[in-house]
Structure formats: structure tokens, C-alpha cells
Structure 1
Amino acid sequence: MDVQTSRVVPDGGWGWVVVAAVAVINMTNQSILSVFGQLFVGELRRMNEDTFTSALITNLNSLALNFSGLFVGPAIKSFKPRNVAATGCVLVSFGLALCSFATESWHFIVGYSFFVGFGLGLISPSTFMAINSYFSNKRGRAVGVSLAGAGVGQVLIPHVVRYFLDNHGFRFAVLAMSALSLTGLFGAMFLKPLHPPVKHNNRRHIRLLAETDGEKGQTSPLQIVVVATQSKMDEAHLKSESLCRRMGNRLVQAMDLELLKDGVFWSIIVGMALVYTATINFTMIYPDFLGQTAGLNSTAVAFCMSVVAGADIVCRLLLPCITDHLRIPYRVVFLLGTAGLLFARLVLAESQDLGVIIAMSILMGMMKSATVINNNLTISAHCRSDKLAGGLGLSMMSKGVIVITVGQLLGWVRDYADSYVICLYAQILLLLVVVLAWAPEIYYRFRMQKRTSSKSMETTLDAAEEGAKLNS
């Protein structure tokens, strides 16, 4: 029997220890992204670098984070989620340590953009895979609690950074963040796999790749004679063709590229990438929108940002309990969150009243949590468990492509129009594309599923009636 189909999911137990461990990893690593400006912008200014350099460092970090999806699927399959997560924590710590000794801007590109970005890219899917194996019905709330760890980190770590910057300077502040990220290794220790995977014999794997079909089939004297009589040119041609075909098949299997044959999967990963890009762009411009367009002072801006973060954290804990209890599909919750983000930004673009801004900030935090929590869950609901690692990797790669293209376009729109309101409308357009593309498809699949279930019920009732007649 297939291991994937016979797996028993405990829906808790040690899984809650895994959730707590992932929350620790997220709190000390994923939240590093939220303090980039606080930690590095001042030092970049002392180097006489402009805003373009800061944007370049953060964009390249996002690119490395998402394009790590090219390797994360095969890595999780070969080395277990625990080892991949631990490697990610080490890379984040090493990258921050390099940044602490930076004297030129390219040092930040190497340390923060490459090492920190790649490390964070390894952490997110590997920790999700660890949680996914322990939960079924409670998977949403488990993921919500683990992601709340990142929210707590976004609240606490800025104060830690401020303390070290004020009392010990830039270098010690970055080294403190480097040491803090290593505490994620403590969390990674508890990511025990539910079912240890079959050990992979790498030497045998390499030998099989190098063998030809003829060499692997030498099991009888007749086959040996047939191979020996082939011409050397034909043998070399067959050997090269067989090796290329086998390598291609191995690559497709390792990265689960056959998922790209599925149109619905394409719709999912591209739609989520568009929402992700719009969210990143909004996070970047929201403080300036509040200060310059809405005319709020720094205290009001900070309050509105705290409202968004607070609503996000609370909903990461509460929303999954509601949606899991009601058994609402993850993709539907993601779609509702996207529609909510669209509505909130539309209201912000049309009204700059403080009361309206606070209300929309609360709604924004709530809807953002719906998309963040159900991002990987949507992939897990669509992909088989043996294809999940590859699906997560492909989703990350799609985000990298959309961020570097559509994300840059949003930045150009903001600079060209010199208007944060027009930039909001550009984000609204992206979210509207996702809503219009997903809603009819989800409704159609729901109708088809309902029709199939009703036909199945009618068949069952007819069979029961015939059985009753025969018995009578």
C-alpha cells in the first residue's frame, strides 16, 4: 500500500510542540524583515547611499527568498524539513554577521540580500511541511499559531534593535540579531518527522544515472550478446539519449514539474503571487500615504501601523478556529481575504478621514492574516502530499517572478504619477484580477461537486430501494 495514502495524521499531540517550535523560529528569523529600515537605513545613509540602494537590497532579498523555491522541494525530500529549517537559520545568522562588518553597500547585498533571503526562503516551506504532516482538521489553526510567532517578533524585536542601536551601536545591534536568529536552531530540534522517510542512497542514485538502459538490463547471456553486437556509434547515441532522458525525468520528479500541466495550479500560484506583490507594495507605501496624502502626524501614523499589526496577530489566532470549525475551504478564505483587501484599499483611496483610516487599518490587518495563513494551506489542499514540497517551491518561484516584474511596475506607477492614491488603484487592479479569475472557477467547481454528490446520493437511494423490494 502507498505510504502517502496509509499515513495516519494525529491532528495534534507532538504536533503542538512542532507548532510552538515553528513559532519560535518565525519569531527570531521571519521577523528580521520588519526591522530592515530600522537596522540598516541609517548605516546606508552614513555611507552616502540613496533610497535606490535600499530598495535594491530589499528587492534582491525578496528575489533570493522566492527563487530558493528552485531548490527547496528537492532539499526537503532529501534532507527532511528539520535539517532544511536549521540550515535556513544558520544562513540567516551568517548573513547578518557579514552585514555587521559591512563597509560598502555591496556587502549588504551579499549578506542581507543573498544569505538572509535564501535562508528565509528555506525556513518558510520546511516549517510548513513539518506542521502539515501532524495536522488535518486543525491544520489552519496550527498554521495560524505558528505564524503568530512572526507577528509577536514584529512587535518585540524593534525594541531590541532600538536598545542595541542606542547603547552599543550598529555593529553590535546586527550581531545581536545574528545571535538571536540562531535560537531558531533550538526550535528546529523539535521538528521531528511524523514518519521518517526512506533513506536515499546517493551513491546508488548517481550510479543509476550513469548507467544505460542496456547496462541495467544485463540479466541474461542473450542480452549480453545483443549489446555486444551493437555498433559503437549506436551505443554511444543510445547512451547519450538515455542519460539525457533519465536526467530530465529525475529533474521533473525532483521539482514536481508535472504540476505545471494543471491549469488550476497555475491559477492558484499566479493569483497568490499577485496578492503577495500587492501586499508588499502596500506595506512599503502605507506609512508615506498616511503622512503625505492623509496628512497624519508621526504619532498617528505609528498608531495606524500598530493597529494593522495588532489586528493581524489577533486574527492569525482566531480566524483559523472559525474557518476550520465551519470547514470553509482554504482557497475560499484566501479569496475572501483578497476581496476584503480590495475593499479596504478602495475606501482608503476615496477617504482620508482618521476614523475611516483606523477602521480600514483594522480590516486590512484582518484580511492580510486571511491571505498569509491560507497561502501555503491552499497549495496543500490542491497538491497530493508527495507533491507538496515541489508545489511550495513552484509557488515561491512564481512570487519571485511577479515581484521583480509587476512589483517594479507598481513602483514606476507611483514615481511616474507622483501619487500614492493612483498607486493604491494599481494595487486594487491586481487584486481585482485575482477575484475575477478565481470566483467563477471556484463557484463552477462547487456546483460540479454538489451535482456529483447529489447524483451519488440518488444512486445510493435507488440501490437501497431495489434492495428493499427484493427482500420483500
Structure 2
Amino acid sequence: MTVEKQAFGSNRMQTVTKLVPPDGGWGWMVLIGTALSNIFNQSMLSLFSLLYGGALEAMGHKTQGAAVVLSTMLFVTNFGGPIAGALVKLSSARVVAVAGACSCTLGIFFSGFSTNIWHLTLTYGVLLGLGLGFIQNSSFVAINGYFKLRKSRAVGLANVGTGVGQTVMPHLVRYLLETYGFTGACLILSSLSLHGICGTLLIQPVERHLKKIEVEVEVDETVQLLKESHKDIVIRKNSNTRNEISNVLGRRATDPNFKQQNGSENGKISNSTINVKDLKNENTTVSEPAAEKGWLKKMYDLFDISLLSSPRFLNIIIGTALSVTSIQNFSMLYPFFLQKVAKMNLHETAMCMSAVAGADIAGRLILPIFQDKYKIKARWMLIMTSVWLIVIRQILAYQTDFIVLIAMSCLYGFGRSMVIVARNIAISENCRPEQVPAAVGLGMLTMGIIVPPAGYFLGWIRDYTESYIICITAQNLLLIILLMTWVPDMILLWLKEKRENKKDLNHIQLS
């Protein structure tokens, strides 16, 4: 039952029932399903060098060849983001996630039969890449719908699956390669990837699980009166024109039925019924019937291309692309660095990679709690993480001792975790909820555009200079560019919020 009470003259408070995300409930099952899919699919990215390194060398390719295959996979993954965002709007997150999991399984399966780099590019690069793109977009959209207050923790928990996979899978891959060879290892890994399909089936529409809560909202008497008196007029908020109201009301006032309802004569509106002057501060207009959209306009709306008109949004998606490019290329380079520079064997290399993954898991569990507790924006978390990674990786580049590298791997993995957790949250914080699928897709597309040339260039630097230190320094330069573009913008936002808070405080004191 609706409860109303009068407050401050012409406004009143009304208790209404509102549907909100459950912030738990079936959302925990969605997290489990996403984590299960990530264990066997998303972890394949960090296993590339370990699993396919020997096969690439047998094909006669070095670091640059590996960069071609990996960059293709990353490009397809990120290019599939906007497609996945559109498909989520047209169908559901579950359908897109299941399709992505099936594509991943096929990609791993057929990659085991690759005889040249182009076969590997088609199977690992295209099939696996497209599947990962579908899973990343649809799973984040699903989690974003189920969680509001604990979104950062939820994304961190879902991504723990990737960390678990990166911890366990290197040892499994090493065992499979030594026991069954390259083809046998890929076939067994593809069978394990089938578990991802079961996980994605746990994604259900959030509408089935929304919670009902009662909230008090302020109802404007004038707008309420307008709605009751003219039920055939559609009211739309968030417009800055009121002339349309006057024009439409003027036309309606000449209608006989309108006069009879409102007790007006000679086409005049009675002030006792409605006073247009009272609406001068109301952002209300009358919506006109929408014209039929052309296919270009439909595509424009489907992919929410209007987001690209915002310089801040462009800055955000480019910055996140640079951060992801930097860490992904380091993940590809790190096993080669351990084997070629630190002179480690396959077992010691797997130990260092597991240390990175274990610390990554800890970071995904701890850092989101820290972020939620102190209400830190995702962009600030990425800025602090970038500084951390620059320092750690630059020190790590000069180390060769096994114990020191294990410790540095842990520090690196702990900081890297926040890039994975916060990148999509940083994008979603700067758009409306209904724009999240398209915004995440556009962010992935930006990564797809930036990653291949950047990855190829970084691989060329390594092969040309034959120096891993110079290559790691070049990867750190990408994070420095992020800091140069984000820090001034975040300072401007902070100053703007500070001025607005001060203005609101002065307004409250005066009133």
C-alpha cells in the first residue's frame, strides 16, 4: 500500500516499491559459473608461451612469430566485444556466454593439429579469441546486473577462477607435454574446456532475482496534477525545454473536451487547474511520436556509438587498453625471460608463473575489499596499480636469482590483479546501466585496435635489440602514457566535485 505525506509546500514524499539488484542470491552462482569458465578458458592466455612455445620453434618462428599469433588472438577477442555487446542486447548474456565457451573448446581442440603458424593463428587466434571475447563481455554484464554495492568484490571473485587456472594449469600443461606431447596436451585441455559450458549455463536473467525494497521518493505536485489532468500526454524527464508544453497545452485548450474537463472558457486554461509558470523550473516536455529509424540509426543505437563523442570516455578506454596491452605482453615475455636470461628450467619457470598467479588471486580477493571500504574509484586504483607495476617490473628486469624472482613475481602478480578487476569497472562507472554492454564492447574494441600493433612493435624491439631489459622498459612506457593522460583528468574531476560540494553546502546553509 502506498503511503504519502506532505512535505515542503507543493512537494510530498511517497513510499514506493522498487526492484534492485540482489547483491548476492543467485548472483553467487553466476560468480561460480564464471569462475569455472575462467579456470579452463581465460587461463589459456598466460599459457601461450609454455604450451605453444616449442611448437612455434619447430615451425621456425621466434618471439616475433609468437607475437603475431598472440596479437591476433587479442585483436579477435577485443573485436568480438562490441559484437557480444550487441548480441547481449538482442538475446541474453547466457546465450552469448555459452556460444563463447563452445568456441573456446573448438579453438583449443583444433590448435593441437597445427602444422604451421597460419593454422595456429586461425585456431588459437580466431576461434579461441572470439570465444574469450564473448565470455568476457557477457559475464561482466551479468555480474554488473546482479551486484551494485559489492560490484568490485564480485568481479574480483569471478576473476579468481582465472588466477586459479594460472596457478594450477602451468604444472598440468608441463605434465601433459612431457607425457602426451603437444597434440595430446591440446586434446586433453580442450576436454577440460568443456567445463566452461556448464559454468556459463548458470547465468540466468537478473530479472528473475531482483529484490523488492521500499523507498521514499519526492513527488512534485505540479507534475502529478499535469499527469492526472492530461493522461493522454506523455511526460518525459531530462529535457531543458518547456516551450513545447505551452504550445501543446495551448492547442489542447482549444479542444471542447479539454475545456469541459478543466472548466476553462475561450481556450484559456484555469490557473486553479494548472499554472504554466510553476513549470518553468521543471525539466518536462511532451514526447512526440518517434519516426521510424533507418538501419544506420539502428546500428548506431545498438552499438551506442554516441559514447565515443565524450572525450573523457575516449580517454578511459584508451588508457585501459594501454594497461592491458602492457601486462599481456609482459605475460607472454616473462617465461622467455626466465628461461633465456635467468637460465631456469621448465620446472622453475612454472614455479615463478604459479607465484604470479597465486599473488594475483590474493590481490583479487584483498584489493576490491580495500576499494569498497574506502570508496576509491576504479580509475584511481588503476593509477596506483600502474605506478606499482612500473617500479616492480623495472627492478625485476635485472634479477636472475631464483628466490628473488619468486618474491618479485609475487609482488608483480599482486599488483597486476587490480588491472584485471578494475578495467571494466572504470568503464562502467562513466556510463548509464543500459549502456554497459556497448561501453565494455567499445573498450574491448579499443584494445583490439591497440594491442596488435603495440604487441608486434614490442616483439620487434626484443628481436632487434636482443635485450629483455629494453623490451620490459618499453612495456612500462605504455603505463607512463596512461599516467600522463589520466592523472590530470582525475585531478580536474576531483576539483570539480569539491567545488560542487562546497556550493551545495553553502546553499543548504543559506536556506
- Shorter-chain TM-score tier: 0.7 to 0.9
Distance 1:356 1:173 in 2: 31
Instruction: Summarize the Cα distance change of 1:161–1:306 in structure 2 as closer, same or farther, 3 Å threshold.
Output: closer
Structure 1 residue 288: deviation in Å? 3.6
Partner of 2:194: 182
Partner of 2:324: 276
Distance 2:65 2:322 in 1: 24
Distance 1:288 1:50 in 2: 10
State whether structure 2 residue 479 is matched by structure 1 residue 431.
Answer: yes
Normalising by structure 2, report the TM-score.
0.75
Distance 1:167 1:359 in 2: 30
CA offsets 1:426-454 (integer angstroms, 9 cap, x no match): 22222111112111211221121122122
- Name the SS of the counterpart of 2:134 in structure 1: helix
Partner of 1:374: 422
- CA contact 2:325–2:450 (8 Å) conserved in 1: yes
- Of the three residues 440, 446, 458, the one matched with 2:494 is 446
CA offsets 1:229-253 (integer angstroms, 9 cap, x no match): xxxxxxxxxxxxx99x722211111
The equivalences for 1:105-144 within 5 A come to: 105-144=117-156
Query: Is the deviation greater in 346-355 or in 278-287?
Result: 346-355
- Name the SS of the counterpart of 2:21 in structure 1: coil
Equivalent residue letter for 1:67:
F
- CA contact 2:164–2:357 (8 Å) conserved in 1: no
**Equivalent residues, number:** 414
State whether structure 2 residue 361 is matched by structure 1 residue 313.
Answer: yes
| Between structures 1 and 2, the one with greater helix share | 1
Instruction: Summarize the Cα distance change of 1:292–1:106 in structure 2 as closer, same or farther, 3 Å threshold.
Output: closer
Equivalent residue letter for 2:106:
F
Structure 1 residue 266: deviation in Å? 0.6
Instruction: Summarize the Cα distance change of 1:33–1:348 in structure 2 as closer, same or farther, 3 Å threshold.
Output: closer
- CA contact 2:67–2:459 (8 Å) conserved in 1: no
State whether structure 2 residue 308 is matched by structure 1 residue 260.
Answer: yes
Partner of 2:507: 459
The equivalences for 1:232-381 within 5 A come to: 246-293=294-341, 301-349=349-397, 357-381=405-429
State whether structure 2 residue 33 is matched by structure 1 residue 21.
Answer: yes
State whether structure 2 residue 24 is matched by structure 1 residue 12.
Answer: yes
Distance 2:144 2:59 in 1: 45
Distance 2:168 2:351 in 1: 16
- Name the SS of the counterpart of 1:382 in structure 2: coil
Structure 1 portions without partners, runs of 5+:
198-241, 464-472
Distance 1:100 1:287 in 2: 21
Equivalent residue letter for 2:142:
A
Structure 1 residue 103: deviation in Å? 4.1
Structure 1 residue 67: deviation in Å? 1.1
Distance 2:183 2:399 in 1: 43
Instruction: Summarize the Cα distance change of 1:51–1:357 in structure 2 as closer, same or farther, 3 Å threshold.
Output: closer
Query: Is the deviation greater in 300-309 or in 29-38?
Result: 300-309
Partner of 2:212: none
CA offsets 1:324-348 (integer angstroms, 9 cap, x no match): 1111111111111111111212333
% identity of equivalent residues:
38
Instruction: Summarize the Cα distance change of 1:423–1:20 in structure 2 as closer, same or farther, 3 Å threshold.
Output: same
Instruction: Summarize the Cα distance change of 1:171–1:362 in structure 2 as closer, same or farther, 3 Å threshold.
Output: closer
Structure 2 portions without partners, runs of 5+:
1-16, 210-290
- Of the three residues 72, 75, 89, the one matched with 1:60 is 72
Equivalent residue letter for 2:487:
A
CA offsets 1:266-320 (integer angstroms, 9 cap, x no match): 1111111111111122222233434554566766554433322221111111111
- CA contact 2:170–2:350 (8 Å) conserved in 1: no
Equivalent residue letter for 1:438:
W
Instruction: Summarize the Cα distance change of 1:298–1:183 in structure 2 as closer, same or farther, 3 Å threshold.
Output: closer
Query: Is the deviation greater in 299-308 or in 398-407?
Result: 299-308
State whether structure 2 residue 154 is matched by structure 1 residue 152.
Answer: no
Query: Is the deviation greater in 373-382 or in 295-304?
Result: 295-304
State whether structure 2 residue 205 is matched by structure 1 residue 193.
Answer: yes
Distance 1:407 1:100 in 2: 24
Distance 1:103 1:293 in 2: 29
Instruction: Summarize the Cα distance change of 1:39–1:412 in structure 2 as closer, same or farther, 3 Å threshold.
Output: closer
Partner of 2:99: 87
Instruction: Summarize the Cα distance change of 1:54–1:168 in structure 2 as closer, same or farther, 3 Å threshold.
Output: same
Distance 2:374 2:109 in 1: 46
**Higher CA-based Rg:** 2
Structure 1 residue 158: deviation in Å? 3.1
Equivalent residue letter for 1:140:
S
Partner of 1:217: none
Distance 1:324 1:298 in 2: 39
Instruction: Summarize the Cα distance change of 1:19–1:118 in structure 2 as closer, same or farther, 3 Å threshold.
Output: same
Instruction: Summarize the Cα distance change of 1:188–1:363 in structure 2 as closer, same or farther, 3 Å threshold.
Output: same
Equivalent residue letter for 1:425:
T
- Name the SS of the counterpart of 1:137 in structure 2: coil
Distance 2:499 2:60 in 1: 65
Instruction: Summarize the Cα distance change of 1:166–1:419 in structure 2 as closer, same or farther, 3 Å threshold.
Output: closer
Structure 1 residue 196: deviation in Å? 6.7
- Name the SS of the counterpart of 2:417 in structure 1: helix
Structure 1 residue 265: deviation in Å? 0.6
Distance 2:382 2:353 in 1: 22
CA offsets 1:156-176 (integer angstroms, 9 cap, x no match): 223333444444444332222
Distance 2:450 2:149 in 1: 32
Distance 2:191 2:443 in 1: 30
Distance 2:175 2:464 in 1: 39
- Name the SS of the counterpart of 1:34 in structure 2: coil
Instruction: Summarize the Cα distance change of 1:291–1:60 in structure 2 as closer, same or farther, 3 Å threshold.
Output: same
Equivalent residue letter for 1:399:
M
